[in-house]
Amino acid sequence: MPEKSLREFFIENLHDIYDAEKRLLMALPKLVTMATYPRLRDALEQHLDQTEDHVPRLARVYESIHEFPMPQTCTTIVGLLAGGDDLLRPERSPSIRDSALITAALKIEHFEAASYGCLGLWAETLDERSAAALLRQSFDEEVSAAAALMSVARSLHRETSISQWAEASGTWIQRAMRVRVDH
């Protein structure tokens, strides 16, 4: 079988991210409702808004290179979403579920950023300037979304650590107070 040209490889990967974005449009609303930490919910809602922009932007990329979206299953996003389902088991505490949501969302963001980054580079190499500019815009948004999620993760960790310490300290203080009152 002859080796694929860069253009064929580019288009195949474009189909891949197009399918991924469409699947995320269906999955993200569920993730938003599962988030209990307000900053996480906001970050996921922002990601949903961006994803709603990415699908038509990808349609403009297809137009600019005179191609059409073809049905193709993005096995990477299917796997990431399935792995996320496993992380989000309902028996976990809200803070652990939120941490799992952040983990799943970051894996998705990194996949998207890698895809858009490479696609943008390949579009430049193929002298598809309009497509490259559109893909770079999506790349920048994905990198920014990943940074925002890391900030949310740090904030959640700090707040969870403080509340767990306060709860543990409060329990210790209550026990100490009972000992003093009882004697």
**What percentage of the chain carries pLDDT values higher than 90?**
68
- Integer Cα distance of 140 and 88 in angstroms: 28
Short-list 25, 19, 43, 161, CA closest to 101: 43
3 phi and psi, to 5 degrees? -70, 145
pTM above 0.95, yes or no: no
Domains of the chain: residue spans and CATH? 6-156 (1.20.1260.10)
70-84, 107-121, 151-165, 167-181: range with lowest mean pLDDT: 167-181
CB 123 within 8 A of CB 3: no
**pLDDT tier, 173 (very low <50, low <70, confident <90, very high otherwise):** very low
